[in-house]
Amino acid sequence: MKQTGKRMQKLRWLLLVVLVVLVLQLLQGLFTLRSVPVQLLRVEDGWLDLQNQDAAAGLFQLEGSWDFYPEALYTSEDFAAGRTGQPAGEEVSPSDYAYGTHRLRIRATPGAYYALCGFSVDYATRVFVNGSEVAAFGNPAGTLEDFVPRVGYMTLPACAGEDGIIELVVQYGNYVHKDGGHIPVLYLSSPQNIEDFKAGNDLISLTLSGGLLLLALYFLMNAAMRCRAAYLCLTLCCVLMALRDQNFYIVHLLPEDTSWYFAYRLFICMVMLMPVSILLLLKCMYAKATAHWPLTVYLAAAGAAAVLIGTLPTRQLVSVSTAVYYLSIPYLVYLVFGTVRGFVRRGGLETADALVLSGFAVLVASLLHEALLTGRSSDVSHYGTAAWGMLGFVFLNGAAVSLRIQQRETALIESRSRGEMLERMNRMNLEFLHRIAHELKTPLTVISGYAQLTGIQLAADRVDRETPENLKTIQQEARRLGDMVTRLMEYSYGHTSELRFERVDTADLLDRVRAISAPICVKNQNTVRVSSACSEKAHGSFEMLLQVFLNLVINANRHTKNDTITLSAGAGEDGFILFQVADTGSGIAPADLPRIFEQGYSGSGSTGLGLTICREAVEAHGGRIWVERTGPKGTTIAFTVKKEEKQ
């Protein structure tokens, strides 16, 4: 049954994983419903032909080679006046030049109106359309002193003149890193399609990145309350992936007056820390699977790289970030090896392990998909797939962390329960020892009393007919004490004897009580007498009933002096025999009366076990015990026991 329950629990967690994946796919499908179909249009030798294309029917992604003029910042007037040189050949790469000009001419229907959108060229851009400046981000310049970097998302109007020609001139300047100057992915369509396309991308970008930042806040609160490093790693993963979306980071998050040198360093640092955060989470999830010193070395290297990113010239930052990526590969292999080895030693995967592995699989799949489709995806930011993968990653790993915390809390609760159970058992053992001591004390008191009485008789040379009776009583009590010790030994070794009920002669029981208790009562000069004994036979344990009477007589003797304690037996309720122990003592205080049968309660400072033992013994015989009378003239306690013929 336990194995079936565990299998059902694993199945429920597997269904939860499948549900999360399906929900993510559904959300992605809902977002992409707003997307406009994208077609590729090829730019050939700086020319694009739109004469046979219906821009209103879809979205065109431009690719191919524009005319490129290295180390020159031309305007449309320069081209119109013939003040430009020849464009560079296709073998010349814009990445080799810090500044330059791109030119594209479009053949379209005269009077046709279009719009283009895309990110500006790294890292300063000025755009002219048909001779008019329509966009500027930063200041492209031929010298580093005049260069002002800035990146933004641009929307460009494009209207064909009477000749049907649209001219785009794009100046760029890049002194930030080594690989700049390429025309980014641009999209062309009707203004309405471009607006829908931008709105769809903004919706995806803001929803995913905003959702990741909300998740980061949630995990940060959990890290603070639960003091779990795994939640802190999940927080870092969410923040880094949210800011990795350039559309969100650059367009929607940064103020316009932010220094691009600071923004660029921060962006490179976040990109560098992405694999660090993921590997750190894997280490936190399986901390004991690998040694700690490789993590220290890896984090020290990442910290040193972060310091270098903040201090080195910007052209060297990509190299530093790439070095950390390469350094992450051997540490990843080391973590995977240690984790797999831990699975093998443990003999299988737990539910939390399946969640963790599923999360990493989702993230890796999204990164591979993004790497394969970068440059061809319709997402302006090109990071939509990885963001979806990160959502699945953090959901599944967060569930794994929560599951492990729940398992540990359950184990802690069980441990506390075991501790409480052991404490109760210890308390029960102490109570048992108190009861045994109370039980053993009675025959010892009888033996001691009769031995002293017999000793006095022998010393005075007054041996009479009572002396053999005294010795017989001592022998009987010694035998009863031996039986008690035997039962105690059987209990301690786990061989408890069953309680046997049999026929009990009430007259013999009362005579035995009188004989045993007589010397106990001598100290207070009390006498014990039997007033009446019925002929009915009781069904029970002679030893237990004898102990009940002795406890009641001892209590009566404690509160009576120079008087009589009376024992009696008679017909009680239907099928029961009524026994009574009456004294002429001081009585029971009204405040103590409701609690005299409670365990451990005593108004006289004794152990409080005698009357409790009497109550439990009587109830074991199917009867009840109560105080029939109490006051200044004495107390009578009565109890009932079933008759023999009813059994």
* DSSP notation for 561-579: -SSEEEEEEEE-STTEEEE
* Residues 172 and 181: beta-carbon distance below 8 Å: yes
Does 436 fall in a domain?
A: no
- What gap in Å lies between CA 302 and CA 32, rounded to an integer? 37
Least confident window among 99-108, 247-256, 404-413, 487-496: 487-496
User: What is the rounded average pLDDT of the residues 343-352?
Assistant: 82
| Pair 112, 177 in one domain | yes
What confidence category does residue 337 fall into, taking pLDDT thresholds of 50, 70 and 90? Answer: very high
Angle at 431 between CA 425 and CA 435, to 5 degrees: 140
| Pair 24, 61 in one domain | no
| Pair 228, 117 in one domain | no
Q: What are phi and psi of 106, to 5 degrees?
A: -120, 130
Does 426 fall in a domain?
A: no
Helices (H) and strands (E) in the chain, counts: 14, 18
Does 642 fall in a domain?
A: yes
Whether the upstream peptide bond of residue 601 has omega within 30° of 0, thus cis, is no
Range of the domain at 97: 39-189
* % of the chain at pLDDT higher than 70: 83
Threshold 0.85, pTM exceeds: no
- Tell me what pLDDT residue 404 has: 80
- Tell me what pLDDT residue 203 has: 81
| Pair 175, 219 in one domain | no
- What gap in Å lies between CA 245 and CA 243, rounded to an integer? 5
Pairing relation of β-strands 59-64 and 186-189?
A: antiparallel
DSSP bridge partners of 264: none
| Pair 381, 520 in one domain | no
CB atoms under 10 Å from CB of 152, counted, come to: 15
- Tell me what pLDDT residue 21 has: 58
Least confident window among 65-69, 229-233, 476-480: 476-480
Q: Where are the alpha helices (DSSP H) in 286-378?
A: 293-311, 317-346, 351-373
Kindly tell me if the per-residue pLDDT of 381 is higher than 70: no
What confidence category does residue 392 fall into, taking pLDDT thresholds of 50, 70 and 90? Answer: confident
Residue position matching structure tokens 């607006």: 195
- Largest Cα separation within the chain, whole Å, is 155
Domain-ending residue, one of 371, 388, 413: 413
Kindly tell me if the per-residue pLDDT of 563 is higher than 80: yes
| Pair 143, 168 in one domain | yes
Q: Which has the higher per-residue pLDDT, 554 or 12? A: 554
DSSP bridge partners of 119: 153
| Pair 11, 76 in one domain | no
Does 485 fall in a domain?
A: no
What confidence category does residue 477 fall into, taking pLDDT thresholds of 50, 70 and 90? Answer: confident
| Pair 19, 64 in one domain | no
Least confident window among 30-34, 51-55, 247-251, 309-313: 30-34
- Tell me what pLDDT residue 646 has: 47
User: What is the rounded average pLDDT of the residues 115-127?
Assistant: 91
* Residues 549 and 579: beta-carbon distance below 8 Å: yes
- Tell me what pLDDT residue 380 has: 36
- Tell me what pLDDT residue 74 has: 95
* % of the chain at pLDDT higher than 90: 27
User: What is the rounded average pLDDT of the residues 526-553?
Assistant: 86
| Pair 218, 258 in one domain | yes
What mean pLDDT, rounded, does the chain reach? 82
- What gap in Å lies between CA 318 and CA 297, rounded to an integer? 21
- Tell me what pLDDT residue 102 has: 95
| CATH code assigned at 114 | 2.60.120.260
Kindly tell me if the per-residue pLDDT of 376 is higher than 90: no
Kindly tell me if the per-residue pLDDT of 481 is higher than 90: no
User: What is the rounded average pLDDT of the residues 412-418?
Assistant: 75
| CATH code assigned at 390 | 1.20.1070
User: What is the rounded average pLDDT of the residues 67-75?
Assistant: 94
Domain-ending residue, one of 156, 189, 222: 189
Q: Give exposure, 576-597, as e/b (b: 16+ Cβ within 10 Å).
A: bbbbbbbbbbbbbeeeeeeebb
| Pair 292, 382 in one domain | yes
| Pair 123, 138 in one domain | yes
Does 116 fall in a domain?
A: yes
Q: Which has the higher per-residue pLDDT, 34 or 131? A: 131
- Tell me what pLDDT residue 566 has: 92
Does 113 fall in a domain?
A: yes
User: What is the rounded average pLDDT of the residues 53-58?
Assistant: 83
- Of the candidates 98, 172, 180, the one whose C-alpha atom is nearest the C-alpha of residue 138 is 172
What confidence category does residue 379 fall into, taking pLDDT thresholds of 50, 70 and 90? Answer: very low
DSSP bridge partners of 157: 115
3-class secondary structure, 135: strand
What confidence category does residue 166 fall into, taking pLDDT thresholds of 50, 70 and 90? Answer: very high
* Domain total in the chain: 3
What confidence category does residue 496 fall into, taking pLDDT thresholds of 50, 70 and 90? Answer: very low
Kindly tell me if the per-residue pLDDT of 242 is higher than 90: no
| CATH code assigned at 591 | 3.30.565.10
User: What is the rounded average pLDDT of the residues 132-156?
Assistant: 92
pLDDT in tens, 590-611: 888 888 888 766 666 565 667 8
- What gap in Å lies between CA 485 and CA 502, rounded to an integer? 22
Q: Which has the higher per-residue pLDDT, 458 or 96? A: 96
DSSP bridge partners of 504: 538
Domain-ending residue, one of 395, 413, 431: 413
Kindly tell me if the per-residue pLDDT of 198 is higher than 90: no
HSE, CB side, 13 Å, CA atoms: give it for residue 309. 26
| Pair 251, 309 in one domain | yes
pLDDT in tens, 426-464: 666 566 666 666 666 667 777 777 777 777 777 777 777
User: What is the rounded average pLDDT of the residues 316-321?
Assistant: 90
Does 467 fall in a domain?
A: no
User: What is the rounded average pLDDT of the residues 265-277?
Assistant: 91
Kindly tell me if the per-residue pLDDT of 76 is higher than 70: yes
Does 477 fall in a domain?
A: no
